[in-house]
Structure 1
Amino acid sequence: MSSNDLYIEHFGLTERPFTLLPDPEFLFWSEPHKRAFMVLEFGVLSQAPITLISGEIGTGKTTLIQRLLGQLEEDITPGLISNAHRSRGEMLQWVLNALGVEANPRMPYVQLFQKLTDFLISEYAASRRVVLIFDEAQNLSREALEEVRMLTNINSNKDVLVQLILVGQPELRDMVLAPNMRQLAQRVASSFHLPSMNHDVVKDYIAHRLRVAGGTGEEFSDAASTLIFQATAGIPRLINQLCEFAMLYAWTDGSKVVSENIVQSVLQDGVFFGAETLHEDGKLENFQVLSLRPEERVPPEEKAG
């Protein structure tokens, strides 16, 4: 039996509440998440040429995509592209692969584009629309984004054959709003930026995931939730990481409640790397680094000297 199994049994849970895998069953509907999903649904239903969703790393964008894919109507043919490469020919190949269209990667670009066009027309003839979702779209070059925009040229004035959903980190918005990407920006019909969670939402988020996993939602003290919020800047993925370690520590201590001291022990032992990345990004400028080991921490008076 693994340590994960033991802490699940220790807390009377049915499964791990803080797994890092995007799981729509655990989706916590904060107000921003509700609005982001509404924008996604509206984009599909209104046949928007391009819908854009942005958010910090780990704010739940991929989970929202998985939820959307799980409830699309039968007249929608989806294609999910998560790790498209930047070069021109490869972009089309990624799109064709996502749609299940076989094509020789050695084909000239024009023939690959024709393959895609033929597929879109055949789907349209069968009364289906194609929705292409580009996750982690901030990794695309400006040239690749421009090529993605050109896919919307296949649409006629009245008929929509393909819709695009761009999902990525905040820099994606900056890329789209750049002066040389004006044509792309003008085709974005709806967009939403998913922020990190505030203190009260973090507390509710932790309780929600515990209840979904068979718990009471009260396995973390209020003080522990506050410290978790401070250490993670309200980013769900980091909250999951820190909560998982805290529950393991509570199990080893024989405690049925995760206290502030237990969370602080996790931070002091340096097993939670998330706080370090936030400090590097400048998101925790006013939060004391607790992830250093005791011998590495310097008292304030020594720093001042």
Structure 2
Amino acid sequence: MKQSSFYQDYFGLRDRPFTLVPDPEFLFWSPQHRRAYSVLEFGVLSRAPITLLTGEIGTGKTTLLHNLLSQLEDDVIVGLVSNAQGNRGELLQWVLNALDVPFETDATYVQNFQRLQDFLIDQYAQGKRVVLVFDEAQNISREGLEELRMLTNINSNKDELVQLILVGQPELRDMVRHPSMNQLAQRVSASFHLNRMTPDLTMKYIEHRLKAAGGSGKEFTPDACLLVHDITGGVPRLINQLCDFALLYSWTEETGRTVTSCMVQSVVDDGVFFCQRAVEREAQA
């Protein structure tokens, strides 16, 4: 089935405005997202040892991260590690793999560490610098985070040979703030926490996504937008899921080319959209 057979033609849209796949064209620059991006950019350009970006699931961390990585100059070597887990030896293998540094699976920790150090020194000699990005870093143990901190001790004179960007859920921020992680916290030179969007920003977010997809931005009534915020709590990923189904419902019901609060509520009542906040809201009704 072609995408055009869905609701796009009905609403005069060239694309689905609320897909979950990160797309730079749909990036909504709310004030806090601009600040978060500025902090990420500052962390890289200022050669901060560790930059920290946290926020709840679906607040746009990964989208901002990919946008930043696409803007980096050619002299920056990036190693992206997602969902890294395991002991310090396995974590080091994750790092080597992300940087495309060959290693033997039966090599000792010391041998792999030497491989990494040689690679970093070689890149530095070529006028390049290395940035290691850990997405979903809340899955790394405290021991693993301490091991990452040790990597920032690899330096040449006054220049650090590797920078870390740690991206994760609020638990990551709590881990870094723990008294046992004091040495790690002292290496964090730039940090930002993304909060959920307010009702006003949720309305602007929905309008922005619709316009980016070729619409007028007014396909959702103000009441529908406020209900979307109430149900999702202002989390972008949840907003996308709910709005996508609301457009689909409006198309199938042919109730007009405007999504009302009744249509949004129908999506929730039918159990098509599921999130904890929606369940709690239904229980209180």
- Give the TM-score, by structure 2 length: 0.96
Distance in 2 (alpha carbons) for counterparts of 1:25 and 1:163: 28
State yes or no: 1:278 paired with 2:277.
yes
Q: What is the aligned-residue identity percentage? A: 62
Q: Which amino acid aligns with 1:219?
A: E
Q: Which residue of 1 aligns with 2:239?
A: 239
Shift of 1:97: 1.0
Shift of 1:86: 2.3
What is the SS of the residue equivalent to 1:153? coil
Q: Which residue of 2 aligns with 1:175?
A: 175
Q: Which residue of 2 aligns with 1:303?
A: none
Query: 1:188-241: CA deviations, max 9, x gaps?
Result: 001111000000000000011111111111111101000000000000000000
Q: Which residue of 1 aligns with 2:6?
A: 6
What is the SS of the residue equivalent to 2:165? strand
Distance in 1 (alpha carbons) for counterparts of 2:160 and 2:127: 11
Give the aligned length: 284
Q: Which amino acid aligns with 2:264?
A: V
Q: Which residue of 2 aligns with 1:212?
A: 212
Assess, with a 3 A threshold, how the Cα gap between structure 1 residues 3 and 48 changes in structure 2: closer, same or farther. closer
Contact 1:4 1:16 in 2 (8 A): no
Q: Which residue of 2 aligns with 1:158?
A: 158
Distance in 2 (alpha carbons) for counterparts of 1:165 and 1:79: 10
Q: Which residue of 1 aligns with 2:113?
A: 113
Structure 2 residues not aligned, in runs of 5+? none
Contact 2:268 2:278 in 1 (8 A): no
Q: Which amino acid aligns with 1:118?
A: D
Q: Which amino acid aligns with 1:209?
A: R
Q: Which residue of 2 aligns with 1:293?
A: none
Assess, with a 3 A threshold, how the Cα gap between structure 1 residues 181 and 72 changes in structure 2: closer, same or farther. same
Distance in 1 (alpha carbons) for counterparts of 2:5 and 2:50: 44
Q: Which residue of 2 aligns with 1:60?
A: 60
Distance in 1 (alpha carbons) for counterparts of 2:124 and 2:55: 32
Matches within 5 A, 1:25-40: 25-40=25-40
What is the SS of the residue equivalent to 2:257? coil
Q: Which residue of 1 aligns with 2:262?
A: 261
Assess, with a 3 A threshold, how the Cα gap between structure 1 residues 279 and 258 changes in structure 2: closer, same or farther. closer
RMSD (CA atoms)? 1.5
Shift of 1:156: 3.7
Q: Which residue of 1 aligns with 2:186?
A: 186
Shift of 1:2: 4.8
Query: 1:88-134: CA deviations, max 9, x gaps?
Result: 21111111111111112221111111111111111101101100111
Distance in 2 (alpha carbons) for counterparts of 1:247 and 1:262: 9
Q: Which amino acid aligns with 2:46?
A: S
Structure 1 residues not aligned, in runs of 5+? 290-296, 301-305
Shift of 1:186: 0.4
Q: Which amino acid aligns with 2:263?
A: I
